Amino acid sequence: MKKYFFGLALVSLFIIEGCQFESKQTTNNENAIDSTVALPVFNEDSSFQFIEAQLAFGTRVPNSKGHSACANYLVEKLKQYKASVFVQEGSVTAFDGKKLNIKNIIASYNPTNNKRVLLCAHWDSRPFADQDSKDQDQAIMGANDGGSGVGVLLEMARLFSIQNPNIGVDLILFDAEDYGQPEGSKFPSMQDSYCLGSQYWCKNQPSKGYQPMYGILLDMVGGENVVFHQDEISRTYAPAAVEKVWNAAAKAGYSSTFEYKNSPAIIDDHYYINTLLNIPVVDLIHHDESSNSGFWTHWHTHADNINNISKKSLKAVGQTLVEVIYSEK
């Protein structure tokens, strides 16, 4: 992630194996099925281990050895969990003129089902620690900013391999999200310098006419005391998805994590998917009202490491996604 913009008018200037189960009695609203359903239980320990596995490759900056090795791991893991996997390879130009070889990793469940939901996160890590007080020119580990969203989605994939959802689900791990231009850069200003992988995907659709019902983006979801607010982009372009996710969180018992508060517009992967493809996508991103940036306190610093990942936060996000996906008919 990226940047807060205060007011949508300003944003518009930028174009853009075992598994446990629990029974849930649903209500008759449109966001729930009308019978008792056994929901998988999201395993936060498993999700945490998926984050550790990513960090074992080191930083995942495009064009690096760690990036290439982690890509292979992610593809093989998703195949292990019975997904149909496609890797979209491409080349994008970063703000500093570097050509980045990217891989958007796409995993599909029930690929012939026309009723689909998109779950996505970015899997790359930032090549510099521009928000740190030292070693700003060194890459960060990105345990939360990148790693946590992928860790949650890999655990969802594991659950899908055990209990197939009633709908089609697509998991997309976007590349080159965090190679954005830092403030004070010596290079000429580049518009839309973040989210290069999702922009590439939007402009080079592997499946023409792809139109899921809605999507959910995970970005920095594993920090201690994680809190999600409803950003202006999500509220404007995906209001029904926002309501669905926050209602699911309340049913799962995580209303204190998913607060019914508004936050400013954020330029994140969901912005480009919403505006370029008209796919309604809601962003789940840690909002910290006490920090200067508005983001997680360790955002873009070397403290974004495994020691600052909370299993409790992973559980809140993962079980909410379980409620959302398995409540679809």
**Would you state the pLDDT for residue 37?**
66
**Would you state the pLDDT for residue 6?**
43
Residues in the chain: 329
Lookup result for tokens 């980045």: 100
CATH, range 3-326: 3.40.630.10
Structure pTM?
A: 0.91
Domain ranges of the chain: 3-326
DSSP state of 4: E
Mean pLDDT for the stretch of residues 230-248: 98
Mean pLDDT for the stretch of residues 106-117: 98
Q: Assign residue 195 a region (left: φ > 0; alpha: ψ between -120 and 50; beta: otherwise).
A: left
**Would you state the pLDDT for residue 17?**
40
pLDDT band of 32, cuts 50, 70, 90: very low
Cα–Cα distances in angstroms (integers) from residue 233 to residues 9, 121, 185, 247, in the given order: 11, 17, 26, 19
Q: Residue 105 pairs with which residues in a beta bridge?
A: 87, 173
Question: Is a pLDDT exceeding 90 seen at residue 288?
Answer: no
Interval 186-213: pLDDT, tens: 999 999 999 999 999 999 999 989 999 9
Interval 264-276: pLDDT, tens: 999 999 999 999 9
pLDDT band of 8, cuts 50, 70, 90: very low
Question: Is a pLDDT exceeding 60 seen at residue 26?
Answer: no
pLDDT band of 5, cuts 50, 70, 90: low
DSSP state of 56: T
